[in-house]
């Protein structure tokens, strides 16, 4: 969450010498994902993101949503969202990423 009480649209994953923090970072990102997707859905509903005549912001956000949907581990959480439907329209051909996260991280 941001300090304004709105979910953020970005999440930072440290990568250098952070092995001991990886599991907790991924779990925290998974916990925050629904709020981030709610925010993207709201931005679509409010007309801030416009798939019909996409701006750079629309393309950036929706390609990220499409990438998240491509992960087999996340597909169930992302696919039913309005933002995922809009992302599929803009980016219909997107590679799939097989499941790889430990099941316990997804519950």
- pLDDT tens readout for residues 12-48: 666 667 778 788 888 888 988 999 999 999 999 999 9
Cβ within 8 Å of residue 49, ≥6 positions away: 40, 43, 55, 57, 58, 61, 62, 83, 86
DSSP 42-55: HHHHTTSS-SSS--
Neighbours of 34 (CB within 10 A): 13
Percent of the chain with pLDDT over 70: 85
Q: And the tokens for 61? A: 């956000």
Please state the separation of Cα 4 from the chain's center in Å.
20
**pTM summary value:** 0.83
Q: Which contiguous run of DSSP H or E holds residue 58? A: helix 56-70
In the DSSP assignment, the letter for residue 74 is T
């Amino acid at each position: 969450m941001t300090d304004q009480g709105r979910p953020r649209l970005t999440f930072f994953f440290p990568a250098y010498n952070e092995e001991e923090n990886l599991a907790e970072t991924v779990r925290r990102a998974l916990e925050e994902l629904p709020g981030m997707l709610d925010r993207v859905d709201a931005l679509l509903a409010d007309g801030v993101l416009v798939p019909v005549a996409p701006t750079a912001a629309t393309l950036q956000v929706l390609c990220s949503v499409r990438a998240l949907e491509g992960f087999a581990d996340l597909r169930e959480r992302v696919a039913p969202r309005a933002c995922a439907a809009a992302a599929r329209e803009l980016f219909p051909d997107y590679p799939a990423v097989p499941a790889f996260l430990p099941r316990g991280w997804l519950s």
